[in-house]
Amino acid sequence: MTIPGFQDIMLPLLYLSQDRQEHKLSTTRNQLANHFELTEQEREQLLPSGRQTTFSNRVSWASTYLKKTKLLESTGRGRFRITERGLKVLEEPPQRIDLKFLDRYDELEEFRNRSSADDDKDTKSVEDEVTDTPDETFEDSFLRLRRQLASDLLDQIHENSPEYFERLVVDLMLAMGYGGTRRDAGEATRLSRDGGIDGVIKEDKLGLSNIYLQAKRWENTVGRPEVQNFSGALDMHRANRGVFITTSSFSKDAREFVMRIGKRIILIDGNYLAQLMIEHEVGVIHKETYILYEIDENYFVDE
The answer to whether residues 212 and 243 belong to one domain is yes
User: What does 46-79 look like in DSSP terms, one character per residue?
Assistant: BPTTSSSBHHHHHHHHHHHHHHHTTSEEEEETTE
| CATH code of residue 224 | 3.40.1350.10
Mean local confidence (pLDDT), 7-24: 95
The number of distinct structural domains making up the chain is 2
For the full predicted model, state whether its pTM sits above 0.75: no
Please report whether residue 139 resides in a domain.
no
Mean local confidence (pLDDT), 47-57: 86
The answer to whether residues 184 and 90 belong to one domain is no
The answer to whether residues 224 and 167 belong to one domain is yes
Radius of gyration of the chain (CA): 27
Please report whether residue 42 resides in a domain.
yes
> Cβ contacts of residue 261 below 8 Å, gap of 6+?
231
| Sign of the C-alpha dihedral computed for residues 67, 72, 73 and 75 taken in this order | negative
Question: Which domain does 15 fall in, by range?
Answer: 6-132
Q: Read off the pLDDT of residues 89-138 as tens digits, 9 standing for 90 and up.
A: 999 999 999 999 999 998 888 777 643 334 444 444 445 556 788 888 88
Residue 69 has a pLDDT of 94
The answer to whether residues 25 and 118 belong to one domain is yes
User: What does 4-50 look like in DSSP terms, one character per residue?
Assistant: PPHHHHHHHHHHHTTT---EEHHHHHHHHHHHTT--HHHHHPBPTTS
The answer to whether residues 185 and 92 belong to one domain is no
The answer to whether residues 83 and 171 belong to one domain is no
The answer to whether residues 22 and 128 belong to one domain is yes
The answer to whether residues 85 and 158 belong to one domain is no
User: What does 165-204 look like in DSSP terms, one character per residue?
Assistant: HHHHHHHHHHHTT-SSSHHHHHT------SSEEEEEEESS
**Gap between the Cα atoms of 188 and 194, Å rounded:** 16
The answer to whether residues 275 and 157 belong to one domain is yes
